Structure 1
Amino acid sequence: MASDSIVNWSLLALSAPGWGGVLLQGFFNSIQIAVGGFALGMALGVGGAFGKLYGGPILRDLLECYTTVVRAVPELVLILLLYYAGTDLLNQLLALFGIGPVDISGLMAGIFVIGVVQGAYSTEVLRGAIKAVPAGQIEAARAYGMSPLKVLRRVTLPAMLPYAIPGLSNLWLIATKDTALLAVVGFSELTLVTRQAAGTTKAYLLFFLAAGALYLALTLISNIFIGMLERHARRGFAEQR
């Protein structure tokens, strides 16, 4: 009977009693969290990188503590800590202002958790990329009278992209996998719904292979877009060298 469950493709049908639609919804939730968490991590990373490079000593020390702690603690522990303790801390702060407790959605909590973790790694990736930009380019921009903001927008950010994209692409792929850790807090992403489907039908191999195929498809598609972005960022780079 086990062999029947393995080849029973009707279990992957999009409509009931198949579980295909449920898997795709979980996959969509995983993509939402990965995109949101990566975007938040990028924002934190840009601020953290510039803070570490150009901020005052107190700011640099605080950012060093942030990146060190987040990168030292296992991500599963961070997810549990930020998800439960973070929600409780927010409600306690709201209570001080006379505001009742809020029910944070699993999607927003997941984006926040993944974003905080990604931010620590993005900070170091972007800091290294900024330091790799030849100092002469920035000095030349300043000599032309560009404001610091224009130097950042017209020189620093474009010049650092070729150095940052490989590291950031790895962080994006890690973000897509880290969404699976949110299953421990009950969020209905791909891993959790796959486990529910497999537990209900006992077709464990079928459903976990299907989930693996979806993750692999996301990785392959991501690699295509990352390659296109890297080629665009590196246009003329070889000639300059």
Structure 2
Amino acid sequence: MSGLQVYAPLLALGTWMTIKLALISLLLSLFLGLLGAGAKLSTSRAARWMARLYTTLIRGVPDLVLMLLIFYGLQTWLGQLTDRLGWAYIEIDAFTAGVMTLGFIYGAYFTETLRGAILAVPFGQIEAARAYGLSPMQCFCRVLFPQMMRFALPGLGNNWLVLLKATSLVSIIGLAELVKAASDAGKSSFQLFNFLVLAAVIYLLIAVASNSVLHRLERRFAVGFERGAR
């Protein structure tokens, strides 16, 4: 592939953009997932209703449609808002829009995963922590989180891999991630098939590395459980 040397920097930048986009979106998804799981398990009817509406909406609308709605709809809304307030025009760049969209979408899936993991932890563990005088934050960090992660990691790992592949959708709004970089390089060199195969191999390598990290995390959070089972 003679064009590989010429377009290798472009592919490297696209790969880095994909990884950065996926990781930041993952952090936002986890944050929204924790909020959504807490809302679904809340005693507040309004909070439960809002969380249910959020997850139903996300699971019912295609990712691509949501991305276009958020990118163009939010940009239009911000433009109208700045006009009314007399502020300078605010433009949402493709990377920010991609992070917001992916984080918002997969936050709904993480909500269900984390809710199930929280419910899998025996409530007596939380009651015992409270009886020892631990604050709510200490209960979460020292008791609930380590145990819920043992149940959540398989689902979180699956969602992470799906999120990683979904970063390719951001090319539709102009972000130069891996798929767009490979597509541009392939069209310029008339070797589109070869560059798309190369992009697929890069995605596969990232997925393999991710699986290795996830396997280590699963072993790490299962240590106490394995000892207890013996």
TM-score by length of 1: 0.91
Give the distance between the partners of 1:172 and 1:96, measured in 2 at CA: 40
How many positions carry a matched residue from both structures? 229
| 1:11 aligned partner | 3
Shift of 1:96: 3.7
**CA-to-partner distance for each residue in 1:174-227, whole Å, 9 max, x for gaps?**
111111011111111111121111112221221111101110110011111111
Percent identity over the alignment?
38
Give the distance between the partners of 1:21 and 1:68, measured in 2 at CA: 41
SS at match of 2:86: coil
Matches within 5 A, 1:73-92: 73-92=61-80
Instruction: Mark the runs of 5 or more structure 1 residues left unpaired by the alignment.
Output: 1-8
Q: Tell me which amino acid in the other structure corresponds to 1:198.
A: G
Matches within 5 A, 1:149-164: 149-164=137-152
Shift of 1:113: 0.9
Shift of 1:166: 0.7
Instruction: Mark the runs of 5 or more structure 2 residues left unpaired by the alignment.
Output: none
1:46 and 2:34 are equivalent in the alignment: yes
Give the distance between the partners of 1:94 and 1:140, measured in 2 at CA: 52
Shift of 1:159: 1.1
| 2:106 aligned partner | 118
SS at match of 1:99: coil
Q: Tell me which amino acid in the other structure corresponds to 1:41.
A: S
SS at match of 1:146: coil
| 1:194 aligned partner | 182
Cα separation, partners in 2 of 1:200 and 1:237, compared to 1, 3 Å: same
RMSD: 1.3
Give the distance between the partners of 1:93 and 1:33, measured in 2 at CA: 27
Shift of 1:75: 0.8
Structure 1 residue corresponding to 2:123, chosen from 115, 121, 135: 135
Q: Tell me which amino acid in the other structure corresponds to 2:16.
A: F
**CA-to-partner distance for each residue in 1:86-145, whole Å, 9 max, x for gaps?**
222233333343322212221111111110011111111100000000111111111222
| 2:51 aligned partner | 63
Structure 1 residue corresponding to 2:60, chosen from 66, 72, 87: 72
TM-score by length of 2: 0.95
| 1:240 aligned partner | 228
Give the distance between the partners of 2:55 and 2:215, measured in 1 at CA: 28
| 1:3 aligned partner | none
Cα separation, partners in 2 of 1:55 and 1:194, compared to 1, 3 Å: farther
| 2:173 aligned partner | 185
8 Å contact kept, 1:91–1:100:
no
Shift of 1:55: 4.7
SS at match of 2:143: helix
1:230 and 2:206 are equivalent in the alignment: no
Matches within 5 A, 1:28-47: 28-47=16-35
1:22 and 2:14 are equivalent in the alignment: no
Give the distance between the partners of 1:110 and 1:59, measured in 2 at CA: 27
Give the distance between the partners of 1:92 and 1:229, measured in 2 at CA: 46
